[in-house]
Structures are given as C-alpha cells and as structure tokens.
Amino acid sequence: MCGIVGAISEKNKDSFMLASLLVIGLQSIQGRGQESAGISVSNGKRIKTYKKQGLVSEIFRQETITPLTGNIAVGQNRYSTTGGSVIENAQPVEKRGKYHVSVVHNGNIDSSKLRQEMISRRIKLSGDSDTELIASLIAHSNEKTIEQAVAETCNRICGSFSLLVLTAKKLIAVRDPKGIRPLFYGRAKTNEETIFMLASETCALDQMGAKNIKEVGAGTMLVFSSGKIISSKYLHGGSKVSFCVFEKIYLSRPDSILNGTPNEMFRHKLGKILFEENQILKKKLDIIVPIPDSGIASAIGFHSASGVSYGRGIIKTPQAKRLFIDPSSSVRISGVRLKLNVLKKLINGKRVGLVDDSIVRGSTSKEIVKMVREAGAKEIRIIVASPPVKHPCYYGIDMAKEEELIASKLDLPALEKYLGVEGVHYLSLDGLHRASGNTGFCSACFDNKYPVVFDCQRI
C-alpha cells in the first residue's frame, strides 16, 4: 500500500527543488503509509538519503530538506506488511555493491528463497523488508549494466511491485507483469528545464504540477536520464493484467484516476449498484450516513439512486490517521472515538444506514456502531460497497491472515450479532465486476482467485 514518488530534472545541477517537490507528492499520498518517510537524491556524483519514522510533515522541514540537493530524487511513505515498523525497514533503501542504488517499493514479494540466497552469498541484510532484498539483488548483480541488473532482478522476483531505482545519473521505474500495484508518470516543463515525475497516484502528480500523466504499463521498465525517457522494455510474465481492485474501492484517493476513471465516480457507481441489489432498504431506512471518508462517495451514489435522505451524521477529526492501516489492533479500536464524532441530533430516533467501503477485521465497524447506537439510532444497518473480505492479500495490503478477517470467521447472522446491527448488506461480486466494466483486476481477497501464487500459499 506504500506511496512512492520520484523526479528527474533535465539539468544536472544541485538544487533542493526536487526534494521539496517530492515532499509535496508524499504529503498528498500520506494516507498510503504513516509509519515512516524518506527521500534519496543524486547530484550526478553521489547519493544522499534522509529517512525517519513519523509523518511527512514531522520529518521534512527546511533544515532537513535543504541538504538534499540534486537533480534526481525518489521518496516513499511506508506502510509495513513484510518487515516490522522499525527504522531499519524505512525507505528509500540505499545499497552499495557492483552498483550503488537507492530503491523505493510499493508491493509485496515472495522473498524466502531469495533471502536465503543472500545469506549464502554472505550479503548482509540489516532489516527484514522486501525492499532491502530487492535493492541488494540489484546492487550485487553481475549484469553488465544497471538496466540489465534491474531487469534481471525483476524477472526473478515473484509478487507485486512498483519500483523506483535511483542511481547517480539515472532513474528507473518498473511495474510488475500483472500490474497489481499502481504507478504513473508525467512531465512538467518550464522555460529552463523539463522534469519527469512519478508517483503511486495521479493526485500526487497533479499536486506536483505534472501534465500529460500516463500509466506505467504492466511489466514495463522505463529508464530516465537527463530529463528524458531513454529506454523502455517489457519484463517476462505474460500480458494478463490483474490490477488491485481494492485500490479503487478504498486505498487510493477519490481524486486519483485508475484505469481511466476517477475513483470518486467509480465509488458513486458502487453505491448505485448497492441500491439496485438492495432495493428493499428504501422502506427500512430514514437516513443514509457515510462512514468518512472512504464511505462518502458510495453513500452519495446510494442516496441518489434510492432517494433515501443523506446526512453527514459522522464527522471525521481533521488530520486523523487512517485507522485500517495502523499496525496495532489496539490503536485501531481505541482511536475510533478520537477520529470520529457522531451528530446526535441527526441520528437520534432514526433508522440509519451506515455506508462503508469494506469490513475487514470488524473491530472499527463494531466501535462505530456502538457510537451511533449511543447517539440514539432506532435501527442500524451497515451497507458495504464491496463483497465480503474473506481471503488474505499477499500483494501489499495488511490482510495477510485469514483468521483476522471477520467475514471468513462468521456467517451473516453471526456477523450482524457481533456488530450489533439489524442488518449487513454487501455488494455482490457480480456488482463489483459490473462497476469495473469487467476489466482485468485482482479480487482475490473476495473470490480467492490469485493472479500470482506464492510458495507460502502452497504450504
């Protein structure tokens, strides 16, 4: 789920502008990862990295940005799946071998065999993240060029990956053959120079000032040098794209564009289809209330299709962290009341339909229901803009254990009893396919159909 950004200027000069530009990009996609952030820069001769645990606004101030001078830069917001939430696993990861590289990564790979290989080659790994492993494989490759070293590494790793690889004079972008995790690039031109920019989401490129935004194709490696794309090639692995549909449902910002459609419009459509599949709710609800922020667009879609009154009955505290991605379950539960507050006068005495993007572990939903019940709701139904999440994600979302997924443990009546509601109403898998236009995407967390099979799934 991590957010990555990068930029390369046409002119080979020292400037802190690119680091400042990346801070803007990282802040715009802070929701993708809130554990640590970092930036690496190159001035054509040396690479300098600064990273720390915490939020972008806490880490990057004028005194920390100013020393990061150079015309090539990469940055990352970290959200841990493989590898603990410690500074050793923060990114970018800088490695020296035959090649000197700094790498940022969004995704998750099947790493056990490759990690054993590093041990047998006596190559030291200071942490346990996939990114350090990938950086080490590239740095210690025996291939003749850095482009060949990156391609060789990416053809060996199995899983999901969007990578940015920084060298002294080049910036290399790679996306896995299935296109599971997103990656985009654009260009900004001034009177003095051309700057290419890359990011996990189009909203980051918008806010960084990029134009002509395009998607890095699945299985594609782009090499940038001196502010130009100097080569493009395809990796092995087939052509069937399996883009993560959970990006469109929840992970990416509503103003980002994925598969050619703004997420806001896609989520509206999910809400409309939800009503088509649950028209009986029109007679059972007095008000539709979104769980902010990820439930807002689908709630508006449900409201517009059903005619049921819509109200912002739950208000989100400004600058609150995303609870789903907090690595501590205890923080996820105790933080709900800090993050959200219920408008009692809007809720009291009414039959409430709470609209959310998904139910994963169920702990946050249970706490929200309790708050709405305390506000005087007569009845509560949860309306979910996705199918039940029943299966682990191996590709970079923190849903790796089936026993943590509430829908895999409880049937619908038991789930309703656990949450304390009069009903739970999911979007069907067919409805999700219709909303997405039946284009190729990964929905393994809903249907158990994995586009890439890890060794750990065979055990």
Give the pLDDT score at 85: 66
| Domain at 264-436: CATH code | 3.40.50.2020
Instruction: Render pLDDT for 335-394 as a digit per residue (tens, 0 to 9).
Output: 688 889 999 999 999 999 999 999 999 999 999 999 999 999 999 999 999 999 999 999
Mean pLDDT over each residue of the chain, to the nearest integer: 91
CATH class of the domain defined by 3-241: alpha beta
pLDDT of 104 higher than 90? yes
Neighbours of 126 (CB within 10 A): 10
Instruction: Render pLDDT for 147-160 as a digit per residue (tens, 0 to 9).
Output: 999 999 999 999 99
C-alpha dist (Å) from residue 312 to 129, 309, 340, 369: 40, 10, 12, 15
Low-confidence winner among 10-14, 205-209, 337-341 (lowest mean pLDDT): 10-14
Confidence of residue 221 (pLDDT cuts 50, 70, 90): very high
pLDDT of 219 higher than 90? yes
Q: Let me know how many helices (H) and strands (E) the chain has, helices first.
A: 18, 23
φ and ψ of 130, to 5 deg:
-60, -35
Strands 171-175 and 257-258: unpaired
Residues of the chain with CATH 3.60.20.10: 3-241
Give the pLDDT score at 332: 47
What are the catalytic residues? 2
pTM of the entire structure? 0.92
Cβ neighbours for 368, distance < 8 A, ≥ 6 positions apart: 291, 314, 336, 340, 354
Give the pLDDT score at 129: 87
- % of the chain surpassing 90 pLDDT: 76
Strands 379-384 and 423-426: parallel
Q: Which helix (H) or strand (E) holds 287?
A: strand 287-290
Residues of the chain with CATH 3.40.50.2020: 264-436
φ and ψ of 92, to 5 deg:
-70, 155
Q: How far apart are CA 365 and CA 389, in angstroms?
A: 14
Q: How far apart are CA 362 and CA 404, in angstroms?
A: 9
Contact 325, 294 (CB under 8 A): no
Instruction: Render pLDDT for 222-280 as a digit per residue (tens, 0 to 9).
Output: 999 988 899 888 887 656 789 999 999 999 999 999 988 999 999 999 999 999 999 99
- The whole-number average pLDDT for the span 412-441 is 94
